[in-house]
A and B are shown apart, each in its own frame.
Chain A
Amino acid sequence: MTKGLAIVMFSGEAEKFIPLAVLTQTAANLGVPVKIFVTGYALAYFTKNKPEPRFTKEFEDMAPKLLEGMQRMQLPSWYDIIKEAKETGDVKIYACSLMAEVMGVKKEDLDPIVDDMVGAAFFMTETAEYQVIFI
């Protein structure tokens, strides 16, 4: 079993938050530590003024079925899943300091589920022996 899971969350499309949530929750359930590096288009969704989630244009026609299925399965929102995973296991969320500066996001603008704002060197060192997933 891997020593931990490093997830680089770059995408901002609504559907990409499903694997983020499911992988994080699963790792927490199995006692695998998780560190998430939030960068790129994902960063905005980890701030206090989250934008409305948008689905990928090419798969827009699938979105209604996806949403309906998720509702039928009573799947909690990605945010609630991550919050629960943080209570269950060792899950840390880091905001990328470069992207934050680029987008004008300050530390105090970040959602409370974010643990800290860090640089890539910190994240890479912390997760050196982890399995890395890029979303």
Chain B
Amino acid sequence: MSEKIVVDARGTACPGPITKLVRAYRQAKNGDIIEVLATDPGFKPDVQAWVKRTGNELVELTEENGVIKAVIKVTAKK
């Protein structure tokens, strides 16, 4: 069963949001969805770089009222 994991990294600064994402990713399995909420202005380029590096899938990347939301589909777990 695929799961949806929500990671609230609002208020933390670099490298906090990516660290929290990685913490969730370590527990996740292929097919899971990780949704990260962050306010760090560096998070947008950072999460794109992380996805590119790790080979997972970025389903959604939006920003509303200063909150960046990244939805990642876990596809690269070995």
Contacts and interface: CB of A to CB of B under 8 A. Distances in A.
A125 interface: no
A73 B12 contact: yes
A25 interface: yes
Interface residues of A, number: 13
A73 B39 CA distance: 11
Contacts of B22: 28-29, 88
Interface in B8-25: 11-16, 18-19, 21-23
Task: Report the contact-size class of chain B (Cβ under 8 Å from the partner).
Answer: 10 to 19
A75 B50 contact: no
Contact of A25 (B11, B19, B26): B19
B15 A22 contact: yes
Contact of A88 (B13, B14, B26): B26
Contacts of B50: 29-30
Interface of A: 1, 22, 25-26, 28-31, 73-75, 84, 88
